[in-house]
Amino acid sequence: MERFTELQVFVAVADTEGFAAGARKLGISPPVATRAVADLEARLGVKLFTRTTRYVRVTDAGKGYLEDAKRILADLTAADEAAAGINGEPSGHLAITAPVLFGRLFVLPYVLEYLNTYPKMEVSALYLDRMVNLLEEGLDVGIRIGELGDSSMRAIKVGSVRRVVCAAPAYIAKHNAPLTPEALSEHCIISASSVNPTSEWKFNQAKSIRIKSRLSITTNEAAIDAAVAGFGIVRQMSYQVAAQLKRGELQILLSEYESAPLPVHIVHREGRYASAKVRSFVDLMVARLRAEQALN
């Protein structure tokens, strides 16, 4: 029990970067937190934190130990949940993550279905267009688009998507469709990035074309709206423009030059135990996403 408490305190102090903040998180006094970390460091024979009057930071040795500590605590929590409710109704809190537009289009509807099915559950969803470390950010389930690197996570493929170049019929009628990627330099380009109006679009056979955007917008939705309005050519994931393509508001260009499709996976912490809440959510998402036409 003492070692378990030490791990809890160590993780809380590391996450909050302070002994007082870590103690508040656990509902204990700062001296108790300080003593627990000191005992842990003494037993391990390594320094886990660099302390100054202004901050507390994890050392290089502490970083590796922190990842292991979080995994151990997560496994213990999962084991408790499995033992308490393996045959019962899912209950508690589930934290998930997905890309922004994917989350709105393909995750939220099934989160609502999940919550309606299991009234004892609560869900928090983190929608970000960046790679999120589930363990570091305390998340249970994530949606990944693209090839996966080496990971301790379990991954289930649910579909694939493509990067497509498209424009509105009105734009094509007025300016003609580009026949090769090189011809894009003669067209009005819309991009969903505020960082730099100049970028590269990659096509098959490792062909890269340098693109200068005439309109650069911070969101995919706004870039798609501009393309639908006939302003220019946009490049998006196929799922992001599936509805517009189906309605005929956009048409795909340069399809013969498209790069290979990107896989879509559901990932979650594998471990020895899978809690009822994670199993039930993953099972639902796998069934629903595999049935989505835009992902297959």
Measure the CA–CA gap between 47 and 44, rounded to whole angstroms.
8
Going across the sheet that includes 189-191, the strands are 215-216, 189-191, 233-237, 163-167, 251-253
Measure the CA–CA gap between 184 and 59, rounded to whole angstroms.
50
How distant, in Å, are the alpha carbons of 22, 218, 292 from that of 109?
Answer: 36, 24, 12
**Closest-CA residue to 15 (of 131, 130, 126, 133):** 133
Q: CA 64: distance to chain centroid?
A: 23
How distant, in Å, are the alpha carbons of 15, 160, 169, 266 from that of 22?
Answer: 8, 42, 58, 32
Contact predicate 262/99, CB 8 Å: no
Please name the residues in contact with 243: beta carbons below 8 A apart, sequence gap of 6 or more: none
On the CB side of 233, CA atoms within 13 Å amount to 25
Domains observed in the chain: 2-84 (1.10.10.10), 88-152+267-295 (3.40.190.10), 163-257 (3.40.190.10)
Question: pTM higher than 0.75 for the full model?
Answer: no
Tens-digit pLDDT string for the chain (296 aa):
478 888 889 988 988 888 888 889 888 988 898 998 888 888 888 899 988 877 788 898 888 888 888 878 877 776 776 666 555 688 889 999 999 999 999 999 999 999 999 999 999 999 998 888 887 788 899 999 998 876 667 899 999 999 999 999 999 999 999 999 999 999 999 998 754 555 889 898 778 889 889 999 988 999 999 999 999 999 999 999 999 999 999 999 999 999 999 999 999 976 555 578 888 999 999 999 999 999 98
